[in-house]
Amino acid sequence: MNIKQNHSLKKYNTFNIEAKADYFVELSSEADVFSLINSDILKNNEILIIGGGCNILFVNDFKGLVVKVANKGIEKIKEDKENVYLRVAAGEDWDSFVKYCVNNNYYGAENLSLIPGCVGSCVVQNIGAYGVELKNVFYELTAYDIFSGDKTVFDKQKCEFGYRKSIFKNKTFSKYLIFSVVFKLSKKQNFVLDYGNIKQEIEKLSGSKLNVKILRDVVCKIRNSKLPDITQIGSAGSFFKNPFVSFDKFFEIKKKYPEIVAYKIKDNLYKLSAAWMVDKCGWKGKRFGDAGVYEKQALVIVNYGNATGKEIYNLSKEIQKSVFEKFNIQLQPEVIII
């Protein structure tokens, strides 16, 4: 384990923001975790645990120790007639894992193709796309309490998964270091095809033929057509969460804007499309220096090159303000702001 000082975080956040950490360490093994737990630098500093840095905006330098989890490996630990259980290192790239599942005909993760990030941080975030959330394929995880050194297994219930959140995102942020995650994949296909234009895209790509590889290709195609390639343009995907409102609130907006994009969740609960609201406020494609709103998806804020964290943050505040003024809705960031 090699703790570096005054280290640039630019390579470690997909917004490509230049920020510095007082201390920075990458962990690749259990031995590294134990060395860290026993180190004085850990005891005397604030800690931030990161994975792929795909959902973080650094507005300031980090006055403390940034811990990047970088362990690797996928291992089959159990199998029965219906399911296969895979233990995956938290530092493994999420999409490489999805690809592995698809290539082996293990079903359940395919709709989550091409989401940037590491396995551990995807759990923190309970990532979701095209009608599927990570919790649907989650079985259990092993984490270390970095302050006490205790090793704990969290089952699905203990993780308290919700829309884009888990116990690790809110209550215990950077207390637990997620080391490995066990996923339960199905050996039988049971595709989720109801979201948006998935069915039409399958039809276009392959006619009536459908298998897990085709579904992955379709999901990748849709994502590539709407979301920026983070190797070319800095971003953290959706910047805001879709807000949940009561029927009355939904109806009040619908009266004024009959075209509102919203989804009924249950009787008195509606999910509103934040992208639609931001779009309606005229932000799509707007650019201020190197900070901008992506031209194909209004929920995505981008760094075209050398935007600072503050510039991205200020733009997000302006967007929040205009959505509040127009719809009386307070958008909440999905991205973690440091």
- List, by residue number, the catalytic residues: 164, 238, 334
What is the number of alpha carbons within 13 Å of residue 99 lying toward its C-beta? 9
Cβ distance to ligand EPU smaller for residue 16 or 242: 242
Residue of the chain from 121, 136, 242, 316 that contacts ligand EPU (CB under 6 A): 242
Q: How far apart are CA 33 and CA 30, in angstroms?
A: 5
Residue of the chain from 179, 334, 336, 338 that contacts ligand EPU (CB under 6 A): 334
Residue corresponding to tokens 């959505």: 323
Q: What is the β-pairing status of strands 20-27 and 62-69?
A: parallel
Bridge partners of 49?
A: 67
Measured at CB, which residue is nearest to ligand EPU? 237
Q: What is the β-pairing status of strands 291-293 and 287-288?
A: antiparallel
Residues 186-205 that bind ligand EPU (CB under 6 A): 195-196
What is the number of alpha carbons within 13 Å of residue 166 lying toward its C-beta? 26
CB 95 within 8 A of CB 52: no
The neighbour count for residue 3, using CB atoms within 10 Å, is 16
Cβ distance to ligand EPU smaller for residue 68 or 284: 284
95 binds ligand EPU per the rule CB under 6 A: no
What is the closest distance, in whole angstroms, from the C-beta atom of residue 244 to ligand EPU in the complex? 11
Instruction: Identify the CA nearest to 183 among candidates 117, 262, 84, 265.
Output: 84
What is the closest distance, in whole angstroms, from the C-beta atom of residue 15 to ligand EPU in the complex? 12
226 binds ligand EPU per the rule CB under 6 A: yes
What dihedral angle (degrees, nearest 10) is formed by the CA atoms of 139, 145, 150, 153?
-10
238 binds ligand EPU per the rule CB under 6 A: yes
The contact mask relative to ligand EPU for 116-155 (x = CB under 6 A, - = no) is -------------xx-------------------------
What is the number of alpha carbons within 13 Å of residue 48 lying toward its C-beta? 23
What is the closest distance, in whole angstroms, from the C-beta atom of residue 151 to ligand EPU in the complex? 30
Residues 246-305 that bind ligand EPU (CB under 6 A): 261, 273, 275-276, 279, 284, 297-299
What is the closest distance, in whole angstroms, from the C-beta atom of residue 299 to ligand EPU in the complex? 5
Binding-site size for ligand EPU (CB under 6 A) equals: 20
CB 88 within 8 A of CB 74: yes
Cβ distance to ligand EPU smaller for residue 159 or 299: 299
Distance of CA 275 to CAs 158, 240, 305, Å? 31, 8, 23
What is the closest distance, in whole angstroms, from the C-beta atom of residue 34 to ligand EPU in the complex? 34
Binding site for ligand EPU (CB under 6 A): 129-130, 195-196, 226-227, 237-238, 241-242, 261, 273, 275-276, 279, 284, 297-299, 334
